[in-house]
Structure 1
């Protein structure tokens, strides 16, 4: 089995485990990112005849992340916390498998090219930072193009209840305006309160996306997602550089041990993901806004026709702080998930290599 395939399988397994552990944080974070909260100047404009409703003027989810997780569990149970988990696991396995496979293939090529340059007297035979960035960027771009439809569905499923709530609020407001003070109004409001959320699975999400925008709807948010390829590029640059530095220091010890422990890989993964997340978070918010159901933003100010429209409206109505909504939650989720992923992946790689070596030894003994 090639080392590229081993790394692909290990990455897929590590990604799925990390996803299961941190998924409730991801669900809450996606809802935080897609919630529209206007800045004060926009609220003033709305009060004087603008198009911002009161339901979007105030946050729907107060308190910290832990409080929001508990509230979500109270209102929707485990189904709410893990909404969209199945396609997310498929997406994680596909994304990590594709990414790590192509990353390892390209990494092998980069290392071979560096070794060839050293033979010619150019360089020290190691891969530089820029090369790591290029390798990670190409692998990331291939991953995004192939798996974006899965993440559109996951975002829809994570924010479905949020969108349904907005629809219900809009209906209540319409009834209150049209039938204020009548028995019919009370009857309709009671009916709305008794209505249960519609069942919403992967098939429903597929049908909804296709109905809204056709095939191209499955590639919503592609532009910011492609730009966000720099996230894993930065992440892997920091990770590989730190790992290389740590191993070079180990070479100088009396034991000459270049191996790193699982805990050290965990900490290096956390450091790498933290740096990448801080640099690219605004793009993640824009991507989530584009992929979510547009009913989350019922008014013109929070409905987007594309990446540029989303950025301009967010700057105008929410200010720069809108690009960093839920960032604290994302840092905790992504850093922890990346740390688990790197640690589990490395252990899987070691296990694959150990099994392969044992099989080789067994075949040699059998041959004798």
Structure 2
């Protein structure tokens, strides 16, 4: 029996997300800790740079510290990528009903739609991941794991706390994914057109290899990071655990923006970007290599079933 092609996209996206998180999680921990360190009172140690942060966390907290929040990261990334590719392919299919080819604007609309839907579904998972990544052994009443964090947040802060950072998260998901996928699709189209024009024996499916997918994935990711990174900082600062008396450090997105601009300037909105680029550029390459190759395998299996 043939497999529905949207579910092939979801399966390929989930596999890609799992591979990505496993490879890059320690850098994600470092990025999150840099993002929330606003130079004022903090329970987190201060790091000089990304290598120093990795070394310090490994020395003082061990592998547990480097992989803090790994379970929700795997869960969130696997679910997010699967849903993202599924919603993205569904949106593209809907737009293609009335035209032969999608324009950059429709690629952008498809990616934005997918990003918004994914954000609503996964924000609680990302909040728990952020909380676990910011834990140190010295922290009072630390969460013992994902399920304990979820229960504690619901008990102490209510269900609304699970959606802290949703507004910047929505902007991040919609704009980041839209920019990344639009850039990827347009660059991919340019390379395919160039290859097929140079050699007419090439079919579009055969004109790209894993190196091409890696290069296209990293290039599109870098463009998206540079344009959307401040949203990540705002979301991480909103998602911090409140103090013992229950008072949050930041009240809402506008408060974060005002305080960050006032005390740290533009640099404050780009804290942790080095770790983010080191994490996401190669991670995006892995994601699209796995995604495209898994998708091609599933397509071949479907053709055999026909």
- Per the TM superposition, whether the score is higher than 0.5 is yes
Cα offsets for 1:67-116 (capped at 9, x unmatched): 2112111111111111111121111111011110010011122233222x
Aligned positions of 1:53-68 closer than 5 A: 60-68=45-53
1:321 to 254, 267, 291: 267
Q: 2:112, 2:178 within 8 Å by CA — same for their partners in 1? A: yes
Superposed displacement of residue 60, structure 1: 3.1
In 1, Cα distance between the equivalents of 2:179 and 2:113?
13
1:341 to 271, 281, 287: 287
Q: 1:266, 1:342 within 8 Å by CA — same for their partners in 2? A: yes
Are positions 1:236 and 2:211 aligned together? no
2:9 to 7, 10, 22: 7
In 2, Cα distance between the equivalents of 1:60 and 1:161?
9
Gaps of 5+ in 2: none
Aligned positions of 1:290-309 closer than 5 A: 290-295=238-243, 303-309=249-255
Q: Which has the higher helix share?
A: 1
Structure 1 residue runs of 4+, over 4 Å off? none
Are positions 1:205 and 2:149 aligned together? yes
Residue of structure 2 in register with 1:273 after alignment: 221
In 1, Cα distance between the equivalents of 2:143 and 2:92?
45
Q: CA RMSD of the aligned region, Å?
A: 2.2
Residue of structure 1 in register with 2:36 after alignment: 34
Superposed displacement of residue 344, structure 1: 0.6
What is the count of residue pairs matched by the alignment? 300
TM-score computed with the length of structure 2 as normaliser: 0.92
Gaps of 5+ in 1: 39-52, 116-125, 168-196, 361-368
In 2, Cα distance between the equivalents of 1:129 and 1:305?
37
Superposed displacement of residue 315, structure 1: 1.5
Superposed displacement of residue 30, structure 1: 0.6
Superposed displacement of residue 293, structure 1: 1.2
Superposed displacement of residue 204, structure 1: 2.4
Cα offsets for 1:122-167 (capped at 9, x unmatched): xxxx2111111111000110000111111011111111218x55x6
Residue of structure 2 in register with 1:225 after alignment: 169
In 2, Cα distance between the equivalents of 1:110 and 1:313?
42
Cα offsets for 1:18-52 (capped at 9, x unmatched): 110000100111111111215xxxxxxxxxxxxxx
In 2, Cα distance between the equivalents of 1:276 and 1:256?
34
Residue of structure 2 in register with 1:148 after alignment: 123
Question: Is the partner of 2:136 in helix, strand or coil?
Answer: helix
Cα offsets for 1:323-343 (capped at 9, x unmatched): 111111111111111111011
Residue of structure 1 in register with 2:192 after alignment: 247
Residue of structure 1 in register with 2:212 after alignment: 264
Q: 1:250, 1:256 within 8 Å by CA — same for their partners in 2? A: no
In 2, Cα distance between the equivalents of 1:199 and 1:15?
25
Larger radius of gyration: 1
